[in-house]
């Protein structure tokens, strides 16, 4: 049995009501729910939320909301692993769940093909998790920091004279999904480890959405992709 868990708390600070804010005509969480449904990978698609309005929107677009998430797992410091573990404990009293996909609510670029292909990759591996990642567009080894209003410095000045092509490629979490064995989530095993299989996404299908600037960029990117 495979389940999809979409965490969606109500208390977003930087973008108020972010998980159900309208993104090009419909609540942004709808894109994740619809992609999960279209993938045909799941026996259940669940939204874990503490918010009645989010629950109503989630049900409208085809997700189940069989419980309301407790307050202690809905504050600014609640991590993803405890939230997913809580959902599993609510749903798996008979130990029938084998795999879980944590799918994020603000991931409009995720699609059914990606969910299906990443599951196939995960299912053929012996990994604890399969995480969607993408590459940094610029070598992180040559990153700079602003030390004060008038000065900058390199994090790793020894890399200043190295050619970009000689520096190791670096990746980051795409902020879309993470497949995992149910026991890995139950035990809250670390996701960033050698026991995780990477599903590499192209950068044009990834946009983290934490600020209104991110939101505007994501809408523009989405519109362009619909014309390609």
Domains of the chain: 2-133+172-225 (3.90.550.10)
Confidence of residue 92 (pLDDT cuts 50, 70, 90): confident
Residue 15: its pLDDT value, please? Answer: 93
Three-state secondary structure call for residue 8: coil
The pTM (predicted TM-score) of the whole model is 0.94
Question: Do the strands 2-7 and 44-48 form a parallel or antiparallel pair, or are they unpaired?
Answer: parallel
> For residues 56 and 10, is the Cβ–Cβ distance under 8 A?
no
Residue 95 has pLDDT above 90, yes or no: no
Cα separation, 118 vs 24, in Å, equals: 26
Tally of residues, the chain: 228
Model confidence pLDDT, tens digit, residues 124-147: 999 999 999 999 999 999 999 999
Residue 216: its pLDDT value, please? Answer: 97
> For residues 24 and 222, is the Cβ–Cβ distance under 8 A?
yes
Tell me the angle at which helices 28-39 and 52-60 cross, rounded to the nearest 10 degrees: 40
């Amino acid at each position: 049995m495979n389940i999809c868990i979409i965490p969606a708390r109500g208390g977003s600070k930087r973008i108020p009501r972010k998980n159900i804010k309208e993104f090009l005509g419909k609540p942004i969480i709808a894109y994740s729910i619809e992609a999960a449904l279209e993938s045909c990978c799941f026996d259940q698609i669940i939204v874990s939320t503490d918010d009645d309005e989010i629950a109503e929107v989630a049900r409208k677009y085809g997700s189940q909301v069989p419980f309301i998430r407790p307050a202690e797992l809905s504050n600014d410091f609640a991590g993803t692993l405890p939230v997913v573990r809580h959902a599993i404990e609510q749903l798996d009293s008979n130990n029938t769940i084998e795999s879980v996909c944590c799918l994020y609510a603000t991931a409009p670029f995720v699609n059914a093909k990606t969910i299906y292909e990443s599951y196939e990759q995960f299912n053929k591996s012996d990994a604890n998790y399969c995480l969607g990642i993408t590459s940094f567009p610029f070598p992180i080894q040559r990153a700079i920091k602003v030390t004060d209003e008038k000065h900058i410095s390199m994090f790793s000045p020894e890399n200043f004279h190295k050619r970009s092509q000689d520096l190791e490629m670096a990746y980051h979490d795409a902020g879309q999904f993470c497949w995992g064995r149910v026991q890995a989530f139950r035990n809250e095993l670390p996701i960033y480890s050698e026991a995780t299989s990477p599903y590499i996404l192209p950068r044009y299908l990834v946009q983290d959405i934490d600020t209104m600037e991110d939101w505007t960029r994501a809408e523009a990117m989405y519109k362009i992709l619909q014309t390609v």
